[in-house]
Amino acid sequence: MPEQGVTVGQLLLAEYQTIKDEQKARIGFRDNLLYVTLAVVAAVIAAAAQAKQASMLLALPPVCVVLGWTYLVNDEKISAIGLYVRDELGPRLAQLAPEGGDFSTFGWEAYHRTDVRRRTRKTIQAVIDLTAFCAVPLAALVVFWAGGDGGGLLVGLSVVEALAVVGLGVQVLLYMRPARAVRSAG
């Protein structure tokens, strides 16, 4: 009895299922990062207010930068998976289909991107991301600076934190652009 091999189509469908599972896990993780950020912000602000120590607010920028960067990286990978399915995997599977089959493989991957409100949603999401991961820690730094009770070392640290937060904000804006078929290094 001859062994049956795995077809290219089966391999491509298995790859599709695997990367969609990864995408789904990343979406859940990414979305939870916003809730974690809100909880951390609330906890740090409450602790700083209770202790009447504005210097405790210096904990917010590094935490928000790390959580924001993790959010951004996961969001980029989620988009990259969609791009890969649309531009690479789908066409390769379509080539295996019988001639004359007028259909689009994984049509949802492209269809949901044609919604007329998509650009508005993406812009609002960028504003939310900038607020959660950048505006809140910058506001904490302003409160710290206004308090004037930090020594030279803490003020220096706060400036470095401000630069990191601004850097994250720039990255949020850069990643806001739609994914392109040609991926550049970086």
Q: Is the C-alpha dihedral spanning 33, 37, 39, 43 positive or negative?
A: positive
Please report the pLDDT score of residue 178 as a whole number.
Answer: 60
Residue given tokens 């959660």 in the structure block:
132
**6-26 mean pLDDT:** 93
pLDDT of 92 above 50: yes
- pLDDT band per the 50, 70, 90 thresholds, residue 96: confident
Amino acid identity, residue 65?
A: V
Cβ atoms of 99 and 37 closer than 8 Å:
no
CA neighbor of 88 nearest in space, from 8, 17, 181: 181
- pLDDT band per the 50, 70, 90 thresholds, residue 21: very high
Most confident stretch, 5-14, 63-72, 139-148, 170-179: 63-72
Helix axes 152-175 and 136-147, enclosed angle (nearest 10): 160
Cβ atoms of 168 and 136 closer than 8 Å:
no
**66-89 mean pLDDT:** 94
Please report the pLDDT score of residue 141 as a whole number.
Answer: 96
Cβ atoms of 60 and 159 closer than 8 Å:
no
- pLDDT band per the 50, 70, 90 thresholds, residue 53: very high
pLDDT of 184 above 60: no
pLDDT 10s digits, 130-182: 999 999 999 999 999 998 777 889 999 999 999 999 999 999 999 887 655 44
Give the percent of the chain with pLDDT over 70: 91
**49-57 mean pLDDT:** 94
CA distance 115 to 15: 27
- pLDDT band per the 50, 70, 90 thresholds, residue 100: low
Q: Considering the entire predicted model, what is its pTM?
A: 0.84
Q: Is the C-alpha dihedral spanning 42, 26, 174, 118 positive or negative?
A: negative
